[in-house]
Protein backbone atom coordinates (compact mmCIF):
# COMPACT_ATOMS: atom_id res chain seq x y z
CA UNK A 1 0.00 0.00 0.00
CA UNK A 2 1.17 3.51 -0.80
CA UNK A 3 2.39 5.23 2.37
CA UNK A 4 0.38 8.31 1.40
CA UNK A 5 -2.78 6.17 1.50
CA UNK A 6 -1.92 4.46 4.78
CA UNK A 7 -0.56 7.44 6.71
CA UNK A 8 -1.01 11.19 6.66
CA UNK A 9 2.29 12.71 5.56
CA UNK A 10 2.76 16.36 6.52
CA UNK A 11 5.72 18.26 5.10
CA UNK A 12 6.89 21.45 6.79
CA UNK A 13 9.97 23.51 7.56
CA UNK A 14 11.57 21.12 10.01
CA UNK A 15 14.87 19.26 10.19
CA UNK A 16 13.78 15.89 11.53
CA UNK A 17 10.99 13.36 11.09
CA UNK A 18 8.40 12.55 13.72
CA UNK A 19 5.47 10.17 14.20
CA UNK A 20 2.24 11.27 15.86
CA UNK A 21 -0.43 8.64 16.65
CA UNK A 22 -3.79 10.17 17.53
CA UNK A 23 -6.30 8.61 19.94
CA UNK A 24 -8.54 7.58 17.00
CA UNK A 25 -5.71 5.46 15.56
CA UNK A 26 -4.76 7.78 12.71
CA UNK A 27 -1.02 8.09 12.11
CA UNK A 28 0.64 11.35 11.12
CA UNK A 29 4.20 11.40 9.79
CA UNK A 30 5.81 14.84 9.96
CA UNK A 31 8.77 15.28 7.62
CA UNK A 32 11.01 18.04 6.17
CA UNK A 33 9.85 19.77 2.99
CA UNK A 34 12.46 18.11 0.78
CA UNK A 35 12.14 14.58 2.21
CA UNK A 36 11.81 12.02 -0.60
CA UNK A 37 9.32 9.16 -0.64
CA UNK A 38 12.07 6.48 -0.25
CA UNK A 39 13.50 8.38 2.73
CA UNK A 40 10.08 8.62 4.36
CA UNK A 41 9.42 4.94 3.67
CA UNK A 42 12.75 3.99 5.26
CA UNK A 43 11.88 6.03 8.37
CA UNK A 44 8.45 4.38 8.68
CA UNK A 45 9.91 0.90 8.20
CA UNK A 46 12.40 1.58 10.99
CA UNK A 47 9.60 2.41 13.43
CA UNK A 48 6.85 0.15 12.08
CA UNK A 49 6.94 -2.17 15.11
CA UNK A 50 6.57 0.79 17.44
CA UNK A 51 3.61 2.10 15.40
CA UNK A 52 1.97 -1.34 15.46
CA UNK A 53 2.38 -1.60 19.25
CA UNK A 54 0.74 1.80 19.78
CA UNK A 55 -2.15 0.94 17.46
CA UNK A 56 -2.72 -2.34 19.31
CA UNK A 57 -2.96 -0.37 22.57
CA UNK A 58 -5.52 1.99 21.04
CA UNK A 59 -7.57 -0.91 19.65
CA UNK A 60 -7.65 -2.43 23.12
CA UNK A 61 -9.28 0.77 24.42
CA UNK A 62 -12.26 1.41 22.10
CA UNK A 63 -14.27 4.66 22.25
CA UNK A 64 -16.53 4.93 25.26
CA UNK A 65 -19.42 6.67 23.45
CA UNK A 66 -22.12 6.72 26.14
CA UNK A 67 -20.01 6.49 29.30
CA UNK A 68 -18.01 9.04 31.24
CA UNK A 69 -15.30 8.85 33.87
CA UNK A 70 -15.81 10.39 37.29
CA UNK A 71 -13.19 9.86 40.01
CA UNK A 72 -11.66 7.04 37.99
CA UNK A 73 -14.88 5.07 37.50
CA UNK A 74 -16.99 4.76 34.35
CA UNK A 75 -20.63 5.80 34.61
CA UNK A 76 -23.31 5.35 31.92
CA UNK A 77 -24.85 8.64 30.81
CA UNK A 78 -28.61 8.90 31.08
CA UNK A 79 -30.49 11.80 29.48
CA UNK A 80 -33.92 12.71 30.82
CA UNK A 81 -36.34 15.64 30.90
CA UNK A 82 -37.19 17.55 34.07
CA UNK A 83 -38.32 20.99 35.15
CA UNK A 84 -34.75 22.18 35.71
CA UNK A 85 -31.39 21.58 34.07
CA UNK A 86 -29.26 19.43 36.38
CA UNK A 87 -26.40 16.95 36.30
CA UNK A 88 -25.99 14.44 39.12
CA UNK A 89 -24.81 10.94 39.88
CA UNK A 90 -27.87 8.85 40.63
CA UNK A 91 -28.13 5.05 40.89
CA UNK A 92 -24.64 4.59 39.40
CA UNK A 93 -25.46 6.78 36.38
CA UNK A 94 -24.53 10.29 35.40
CA UNK A 95 -28.03 11.70 35.02
CA UNK A 96 -28.38 14.73 32.75
CA UNK A 97 -31.78 16.37 33.15
CA UNK A 98 -32.85 19.04 30.65
CA UNK A 99 -36.02 21.10 30.74
CA UNK A 100 -36.15 21.95 27.03
CA UNK A 101 -35.45 19.94 23.88
CA UNK A 102 -33.32 22.84 22.65
CA UNK A 103 -30.96 22.67 25.64
CA UNK A 104 -27.59 21.12 24.92
CA UNK A 105 -26.32 18.59 27.47
CA UNK A 106 -22.59 18.96 26.75
CA UNK A 107 -22.19 22.54 28.13
CA UNK A 108 -24.10 21.39 31.21
CA UNK A 109 -21.71 18.47 31.64
CA UNK A 110 -18.66 20.69 31.27
CA UNK A 111 -19.98 23.13 33.88
CA UNK A 112 -20.72 20.22 36.20
CA UNK A 113 -17.20 18.84 35.78
CA UNK A 114 -15.76 22.31 36.43
CA UNK A 115 -17.69 22.57 39.68
CA UNK A 116 -16.61 19.07 40.71
CA UNK A 117 -12.98 19.85 39.91
CA UNK A 118 -13.03 23.03 42.01
CA UNK A 119 -14.53 21.16 44.98
CA UNK A 120 -11.96 18.36 44.63
CA UNK A 121 -8.88 20.52 44.04
CA UNK A 122 -9.52 23.19 46.68
CA UNK A 123 -9.02 21.01 49.81
CA UNK A 124 -5.90 19.46 48.28
CA UNK A 125 -4.42 22.89 47.65
CA UNK A 126 -5.24 23.97 51.21
CA UNK A 127 -3.61 20.80 52.55
CA UNK A 128 -0.27 21.49 50.83
CA UNK A 129 -0.43 25.20 51.53
CA UNK A 130 -0.74 24.50 55.23
CA UNK A 131 1.76 21.63 55.37
CA UNK A 132 4.53 23.10 53.19
CA UNK A 133 3.68 26.83 53.27
CA UNK A 134 3.22 26.84 49.50
CA UNK A 135 1.56 29.90 48.01
CA UNK A 136 0.22 30.57 44.53
CA UNK A 137 -1.39 33.57 42.89
CA UNK A 138 -4.58 32.45 41.15
CA UNK A 139 -6.47 29.23 40.39
CA UNK A 140 -8.34 28.79 37.09
CA UNK A 141 -10.36 25.83 35.80
CA UNK A 142 -10.06 25.54 32.03
CA UNK A 143 -11.56 23.51 29.19
CA UNK A 144 -8.17 22.10 28.17
CA UNK A 145 -8.33 18.61 26.69
CA UNK A 146 -4.64 17.86 26.19
CA UNK A 147 -3.13 19.18 29.45
CA UNK A 148 -4.24 18.30 32.97
CA UNK A 149 -2.70 21.41 34.44
CA UNK A 150 -0.20 24.22 34.02
CA UNK A 151 1.69 26.73 36.13
CA UNK A 152 2.98 30.14 35.03
CA UNK A 153 6.03 32.08 36.18
CA UNK A 154 3.61 34.47 37.93
CA UNK A 155 2.35 31.66 40.14
CA UNK A 156 -0.97 31.20 38.38
CA UNK A 157 -2.21 27.58 38.34
CA UNK A 158 -4.67 26.14 35.85
CA UNK A 159 -6.42 22.77 35.91
CA UNK A 160 -8.59 21.17 33.25
CA UNK A 161 -12.19 20.43 34.22
CA UNK A 162 -11.37 16.85 33.17
CA UNK A 163 -9.45 16.39 36.43
CA UNK A 164 -12.71 15.24 38.02
CA UNK A 165 -12.57 12.20 35.73
CA UNK A 166 -9.51 10.89 37.59
CA UNK A 167 -9.14 8.94 40.85
CA UNK A 168 -8.61 11.22 43.82
CA UNK A 169 -4.99 10.09 44.32
CA UNK A 170 -4.23 10.96 40.69
CA UNK A 171 -5.89 14.36 41.12
CA UNK A 172 -3.68 14.95 44.16
CA UNK A 173 -0.60 14.04 42.14
CA UNK A 174 -1.48 16.52 39.37
CA UNK A 175 -2.10 19.26 41.95
CA UNK A 176 1.30 18.50 43.53
CA UNK A 177 2.91 18.42 40.08
CA UNK A 178 1.78 21.99 39.40
CA UNK A 179 2.65 23.16 42.91
CA UNK A 180 6.16 21.80 42.37
CA UNK A 181 6.41 24.00 39.27
CA UNK A 182 6.12 27.02 41.55
CA UNK A 183 9.68 26.17 42.59
CA UNK A 184 10.99 24.57 39.39
CA UNK A 185 9.47 25.71 36.08
CA UNK A 186 10.89 22.68 34.26
CA UNK A 187 11.04 18.90 34.50
CA UNK A 188 14.61 18.64 35.75
CA UNK A 189 15.82 15.99 38.19
CA UNK A 190 15.44 18.55 40.99
CA UNK A 191 11.81 19.06 40.00
CA UNK A 192 11.05 15.33 40.24
CA UNK A 193 12.91 15.10 43.54
CA UNK A 194 10.66 17.87 44.82
CA UNK A 195 7.55 16.08 43.54
CA UNK A 196 8.70 12.92 45.29
CA UNK A 197 9.20 14.83 48.52
CA UNK A 198 5.72 16.33 48.37
CA UNK A 199 3.95 13.20 47.12
CA UNK A 200 6.01 9.97 47.33
CA UNK A 201 3.25 7.89 45.65
CA UNK A 202 3.37 9.88 42.41
CA UNK A 203 4.67 6.90 40.38
CA UNK A 204 1.39 5.03 40.94
CA UNK A 205 -0.55 8.04 39.66
CA UNK A 206 1.68 8.30 36.59
CA UNK A 207 1.09 4.59 35.94
CA UNK A 208 -2.72 5.02 36.10
CA UNK A 209 -2.60 7.95 33.69
CA UNK A 210 -0.46 5.97 31.25
CA UNK A 211 -2.78 2.95 31.41
CA UNK A 212 -5.92 5.04 30.80
CA UNK A 213 -4.68 7.82 28.52
CA UNK A 214 -6.33 6.50 25.35
CA UNK A 215 -9.69 5.85 27.03
CA UNK A 216 -9.59 9.31 28.63
CA UNK A 217 -8.67 10.96 25.32
CA UNK A 218 -11.82 9.53 23.75
CA UNK A 219 -14.25 10.91 26.31
CA UNK A 220 -16.96 12.65 24.34
CA UNK A 221 -16.99 16.03 26.06
Helical axes 37-46 vs 48-59, angle rounded to 10°: 60
Contact between 215 and 73 (Cβ < 8 Å): no
d(CA 206, CA 210): 6
d(CA 160, CA 146): 9
List, in order of start, the domains of the chain with CATH numbers: 3-59 (no CATH), 105-217 (3.30.2010.10)
Per-residue confidence of the chain (221 residues) as pLDDT tens digits? 567 678 899 999 988 999 988 767 789 999 999 999 999 999 999 999 989 988 887 777 655 457 899 999 999 888 777 777 888 898 888 888 887 655 567 788 899 999 999 999 999 999 998 888 888 889 999 988 888 999 998 989 999 999 999 999 999 999 999 999 999 989 999 999 999 999 999 999 999 999 998 788 777 66
Q: What is the pTM of this model?
A: 0.70
- H/E stretch holding 12 reads strand 8-12
Closest to 204 (Cα-Cα) out of 174, 160, 159: 174
- H/E stretch holding 47 reads none
Q: Give the number of other CB atoms < 10 A from CB of residue 192.
A: 14
Q: Give the number of other CB atoms < 10 A from CB of residue 160.
A: 22
Amino acid sequence: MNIYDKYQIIKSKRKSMAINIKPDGSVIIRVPLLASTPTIQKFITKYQSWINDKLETINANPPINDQLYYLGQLYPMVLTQKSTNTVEILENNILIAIKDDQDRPHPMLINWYKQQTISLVTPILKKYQAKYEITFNRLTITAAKTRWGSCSSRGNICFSYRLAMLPIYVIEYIVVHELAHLKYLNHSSKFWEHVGKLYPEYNNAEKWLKQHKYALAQQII
